[in-house]
């Protein structure tokens, strides 16, 4: 679940600002460092050398950072001009880890929406992507979580999310399919049901040319 808490004063014409936070069960860096040391030793990697002595601690802090999204305020504004064309943020960086191997997944997200009564601060599109990426993930779920969340909290006429990413679990191990990437998409509202809007969104993301 994504806990949300309103803060700030709201007039009759304003929505309260939503503070978006992710509350993990708790991060114990000391325990994680011990576990990382034992993990490396179990794989035959000694941490007794000068260069590797600090590695377990660095591993613990690195994964803690990967799994800790930054809080942000979901700021929206009245769509006073009645803007009804596509708003699209392209090439938003995505970094997460696959939940099956805990190996990096790196790519870009294209996130767009057709405004309803309110418009969204553009940086918040990237914040929402980061929020759901900072945890062990599968790309399909990540794509849908971003789209569903925006549809619920922004109430636009349509939402589209496309993610293109390279999975280290495919390129560095197993099949070792170097250079391959994976593309997923979720389209909601008019971006799913209206062919013109859907085609415009996919063309602008570069999925179709």
Q: Is 98 a catalytic residue?
A: yes
> Which of the following is catalytic: 14, 41, 65, 99?
99
Q: Is 99 a catalytic residue?
A: yes
> Which of the following is catalytic: 134, 139, 145, 164?
139
> Which of the following is catalytic: 14, 41, 100, 140?
100
> Which of the following is catalytic: 22, 151, 155, 169?
169
Q: Is 145 a catalytic residue?
A: no
> Which of the following is catalytic: 22, 101, 151, 166?
101
Q: How far is 10 from 76, CA to CA, in rounded Å?
A: 12
> Which of the following is catalytic: 131, 134, 167, 200?
167
Q: Taking phi first (over 0 means left), then psi (-120 to 50 degrees means alpha), and beta for anything else, what does residue 176 get?
A: left
Neighbours of 19 (CB within 10 A): 15
Q: How far is 88 from 111, CA to CA, in rounded Å?
A: 6
Q: Is 169 a catalytic residue?
A: yes
> Which of the following is catalytic: 33, 98, 130, 131?
98
Q: Is 101 a catalytic residue?
A: yes
Catalytic positions are 98-101, 139, 167, 169
């Amino acid at each position: 679940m994504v806990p949300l808490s309103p803060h700030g004063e709201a007039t009759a014409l304003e929505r309260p600002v939503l503070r978006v936070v992710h509350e993990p069960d708790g991060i114990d860096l000391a325990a994680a460092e011990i576990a990382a040391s034992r993990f490396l030793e179990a794989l035959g990697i000694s941490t007794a050398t000068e260069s590797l002595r600090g590695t377990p601690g660095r591993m613990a802090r690195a994964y803690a950072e990967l799994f800790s999204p930054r809080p942000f305020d979901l700021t929206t504004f009245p769509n006073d001009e009645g803007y009804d064309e596509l708003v699209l943020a392209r090439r938003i960086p995505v970094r997460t880890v696959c939940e099956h191997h805990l190996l990096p997944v790196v790519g870009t997200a294209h996130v767009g929406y057709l405004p309803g009564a309110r418009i969204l601060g553009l940086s918040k599109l990237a914040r929402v992507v980061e929020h759901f990426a900072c945890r062990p993930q599968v790309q399909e779920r990540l794509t849908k979580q971003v789209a569903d969340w925006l549809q619920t909290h922004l109430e636009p006429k349509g939402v589209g999310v496309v993610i293109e990413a390279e999975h280290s679990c495919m390129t560095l191990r197993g099949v070792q399919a170097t250079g391959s990437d994976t593309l997923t998409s979720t389209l909601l509202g008019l971006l799913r049901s209206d062919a013109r809007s859907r085609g415009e969104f996919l063309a602008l993301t570069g999925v179709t040319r």
